């Protein structure tokens, strides 16, 4: 059952999302060759607690850390460790926080130093597909419309759209109804309703769509060992239109990137 949120609850969820956005912004300045993912994890945990929030992933389904850190061929759910990042890596960082009992859940794939132009393209197309999907999250549409749009955008570039992992409703629980697949058919699935909040999160592989799991029971990898990218925003349906609760603004400030990509998803 989809649980719509009141305007007041949506503003609380914006606070939760913003803490995660700021955490990703802080991490953007720290991602560089030689840094370990475990070090970044500790920074993020401190940062979230200093902002009066609780790490949202730590202990959730028994996950051991604050961040999911998934380099290169890891799709999602990688566990932070003491391996240093290397020049040319990509690292998908997924972060959650709880404030006022509501979850924020938000992810960005960072380049570590200079990366291969083909990998850069994967990141760019995956992020584009996130906005292509968000644009379809509007009154009158259904879950399948978002998935269809994301799938079409990514497959046009020959990329594999992961099937086994999906976006989701968000609220007092990390995973609420409905599931939000990154693939689908137009006009199919649950109908969107005013006040609902979802995490839209394309997980896109440079090669095949198939995945496999590491023996740690968490880490998801591409089956062919090619890189994978992951971008995630939290979005509310307000006045029949998508309203972004999270923002990459802090990441872009840290990286010196100019962007107006989020403007169309902000209501006055």
| Chain contacts with Mg ion (rule: CB under 5 A) | 94, 105, 107, 199, 232
* Residue 166: CA count within 13 A, CB half-sphere: 21
Tell me how far, at minimum, the Cβ of 256 lies from Mg ion, in Å.
25
For residues 143 and 189, give the distance between their C-alpha atoms in angstroms, rounded to a whole number.
5
Closest CB to Mg ion among residues 160, 169: 169
Closest CB to Mg ion among residues 158, 217: 217
CA distances from 177 to 57, 96, 136, 189 (A): 18, 18, 18, 12
DSSP state of 162: P
Closest CB to Mg ion among residues 90, 240: 90
* Residue 36: CA count within 13 A, CB half-sphere: 8
For residues 256 and 245, give the distance between their C-alpha atoms in angstroms, rounded to a whole number.
22
Q: Is 19 within 8 Å of 245 (Cβ atoms)?
A: no
Closest CB to Mg ion among residues 88, 229: 229
Q: Is 7 exposed, middle or buried (0-12, 13-18, 19+ CB in 10 A)?
A: exposed
Closest CB to Mg ion among residues 205, 258: 205
Tell me how far, at minimum, the Cβ of 232 lies from Mg ion, in Å.
5
Tell me how far, at minimum, the Cβ of 87 lies from Mg ion, in Å.
26
């Amino acid at each position: 059952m989809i649980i719509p949120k009141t305007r007041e609850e949506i503003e609380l969820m914006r606070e939760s999302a913003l803490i995660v956005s700021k955490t990703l912004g802080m991490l953007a300045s720290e991602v560089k060759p030689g840094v370990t993912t475990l070090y970044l994890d500790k920074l993020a945990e401190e940062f979230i607690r200093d902002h009066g929030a609780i790490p949202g992933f730590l202990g959730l389904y028994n996950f051991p850390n604050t961040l999911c850190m998934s380099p290169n061929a890891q799709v999602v759910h990688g566990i932070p460790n003491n391996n240093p990042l290397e020049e040319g890596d990509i690292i998908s960082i997924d972060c959650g926080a709880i404030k006022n009992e509501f979850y924020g859940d938000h992810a960005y794939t960072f380049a570590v130093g200079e990366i291969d132009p083909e990998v850069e393209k994967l990141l760019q197309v995956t992020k584009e597909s996130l906005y292509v999907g968000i644009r379809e999250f509007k009154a009158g549409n259904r879950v399948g419309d978002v998935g269809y749009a994301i799938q079409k955008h990514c497959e046009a570039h020959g990329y594999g759209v992961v099937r086994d992992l999906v976006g989701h409703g968000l609220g007092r629980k990390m995973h609420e109804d409905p599931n939000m697949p990154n693939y689908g058919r137009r006009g199919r699935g649950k109908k969107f309703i005013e006040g609902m909040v979802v995490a839209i999160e394309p997980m896109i592989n440079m090669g095949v769509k198939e995945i496999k799991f590491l023996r740690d029971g968490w880490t998801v990898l591409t089956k062919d060992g090619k890189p994978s990218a992951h971008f995630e925003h939290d979005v509310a349906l307000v006045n029949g239109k998508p309203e972004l609760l999270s923002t990459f603004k802090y990441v872009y400030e840290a990286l010196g990137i100019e962007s107006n990509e989020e403007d169309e998803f902000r209501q006055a």
